[in-house]
């Protein structure tokens, strides 16, 4: 019985083809989102890294086998999905950092707008009060 005829080999090849297809689809979608200006380049680099890494690991069987054995994973396609999971985890961490930074910037901007609005209201009420005081000083008193 040859190795190519075993059901396990066919399943592994089928999974590799599926992962290669998924990686190509990820890269294609990312390029399309960049082209349509729906995704900024700095975030696209992370997603493209994920797609290219999946593609390289799925296409280069020796590298995936070596990495999976080093990690103690006996089924190489499971190692591929573990790598993908780690990338997604890194993306989530990155987006959490970006979200925190944007939240802080939003709070600072809201405070600055409130201060500017307060100064504008003080200036408007101050100008109105000064014109009344000036008119009272320029008119002679009735006594």
Q: Where are the domains of the chain?
A: 3-138
* pLDDT higher than 90, residue 127: no
Question: What pLDDT score does 136 carry?
Answer: 45
Decide if 34 contacts 44 (C-beta within 8 A).
yes
Q: What percent of the chain has pLDDT over 90?
A: 28
Task: Tell the residue number behind the tokens 């950092």, with chain if given.
Answer: 97
Question: What pLDDT score does 140 carry?
Answer: 52
| Phi and psi angles of residue 16, each rounded to the nearest 5 degrees, phi first | -65, -40
Task: Tell the residue number behind the tokens 């999974």, with chain if given.
Answer: 15
Question: What pLDDT score does 135 carry?
Answer: 47
* pLDDT higher than 80, residue 40: yes
Cα 36 to chain center, whole Å? 17
Count helices and strands (H / E) in the chain. Answer: 4, 0
Task: Tell the residue number behind the tokens 């592994």, with chain if given.
Answer: 12
Residue-averaged pLDDT of the chain? 82
Overall average pLDDT of the 1-25 stretch: 75
Overall average pLDDT of the 98-119 stretch: 96
Question: What pLDDT score does 105 carry?
Answer: 97
């Amino acid at each position: 019985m040859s190795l190519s005829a075993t059901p396990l080999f066919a399943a592994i090849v089928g999974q590799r083809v599926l992962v290669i297809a998924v990686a190509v689809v990820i890269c294609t979608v990312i390029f399309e989102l960049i082209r349509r200006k729906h995704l900024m380049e700095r975030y696209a680099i992370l997603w493209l890294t994920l797609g290219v890494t999946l593609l390289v690991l799925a296409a280069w069987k020796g590298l995936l086998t070596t990495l999976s054995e080093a990690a103690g994973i006996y089924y190489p396609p499971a190692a591929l999905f573990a790598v993908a999971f780690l990338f997604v985890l890194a993306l989530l961490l990155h987006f959490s950092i970006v979200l925190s930074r944007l939240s802080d910037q939003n709070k600072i901007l809201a405070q600055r707008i409130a201060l500017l609005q307060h100064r504008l209201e003080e200036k408007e009420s101050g100008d109105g009060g000064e014109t009344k005081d000036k008119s009272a000083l320029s008119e002679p008193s009735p006594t």
